[in-house]
Amino acid sequence: MDGILLVDKPAGWTSHDVVAKVRRILRHQVDGGQFVVDSEKLKTKTYKLKPIKVGHTGTLDPFATGLLVLVVGSYTKRAQEFSKLDKTYEAEITLGATSTTGDIEGEITPKSGQKPTEMAIREVLGQFEGQIEQTPHAYSAVKIGGQRAYKLARQGKEVKLEPRQVKVYRLEVLGYGYPKLKIVTEVSSGTYVRSLAGDIGEKLGTGAYLSALRRTEVGQYSVNQAVSLDSDLLEHLAK
């Protein structure tokens, strides 16, 4: 089996968890290369599957949900190609507070009690469309000297990341009721929505952090085409 597999990642799973599960499903068994389903529901079914390589093409944080593009077999050599595709996200931003990690998993600190109008928010969002300079958050997957920035940050080490040029093709309000702001954004590869949320909060003067994130598109691929992490996944792979 060579190609890509689109998976709708649930909250609470790391991207590595998803890859590991798919690898287990495709794991080659000594009994003639057959795989016997472990779940009670499908225990009697047997699928002929070959041992195969699996990787992902762009990390999603554990609290985030949505589209993971997995590369399978010989397509693992093309992982970088897929990782460079533009991405679309739906996000919930909480105003009036900041987080040490920029998201719901960090220590939350209340900030300004200002309640910006939706018009003011739309004006600020417009300032972030186009090519912008963005500094990745210290709790990001950017590598520093071969180590992930978030690992260094968790160790209490100082993390200094350089700003980079990214593109925000679209940034729109989906809904607003203070302190919750829901947006949709289409961005270039390498754009951090967590950093975008923090920058929006800073511009509004309220502070902000990312409280929910769902990736809906990667290039031409949509989460509507993805399979979920349940027994249907095995059925899909066996076709």
- Do 96 and 189 reside in the same domain of the chain? yes
- Do 78 and 94 reside in the same domain of the chain? no
- Do 120 and 211 reside in the same domain of the chain? yes
- Do 213 and 224 reside in the same domain of the chain? no
DSSP state, 226? P
What pLDDT shows up at residue 43?
44
Structural domain for 62, as ranges: 3-84+220-238
- Do 139 and 78 reside in the same domain of the chain? no
Ranges of beta strands (E only) in 57-207 are: 65-72, 87-95, 97-99, 108-110, 130-134, 143-144, 147-148, 164-177, 180-187
Q: Which residues are catalytic?
A: 61
**Unique residue bearing structure tokens 């649930």:** 10
The answer to whether 60 touches 215, Cβ cutoff 8 Å, is yes
For residue 70, give the CATH number of its domain. 3.30.70
- Do 111 and 229 reside in the same domain of the chain? no
What pLDDT shows up at residue 79?
95
- Do 137 and 62 reside in the same domain of the chain? no
User: Rounded to whole angstroms, how far apart are CA atoms 157 and 179?
Assistant: 32
Single out the residue of 135, 125, 215 nearest to residue 169, CA to CA. 125
- Do 94 and 199 reside in the same domain of the chain? yes
Residue 222, beta-bridge partner list: 217
What pLDDT shows up at residue 144?
73
The angle formed by the CA atoms of residues 104, 109 and 111, to the nearest 5 degrees, is 115
Which residue ranges in the chain fall short of pLDDT 70? 28-51, 153, 231-232, 234-239
- Do 19 and 72 reside in the same domain of the chain? yes
What pLDDT shows up at residue 139?
74
What pLDDT shows up at residue 204?
96
The number of folded domains in the chain is 2
Q: What six digits make up the tokens of 69?
A: 């593009």
The answer to whether 35 touches 235, Cβ cutoff 8 Å, is no
What pLDDT shows up at residue 32?
36
For residue 177, give the CATH number of its domain. 3.30.2350.10
What pLDDT shows up at residue 50?
54
Give tens-digit pLDDT for 90-104: 999 999 999 988 999
- Do 118 and 151 reside in the same domain of the chain? yes
User: Rounded to whole angstroms, how far apart are CA atoms 67 and 6?
Assistant: 7
- Do 159 and 116 reside in the same domain of the chain? yes
Q: How many CB atoms lie within 10 A of CB 234?
A: 20
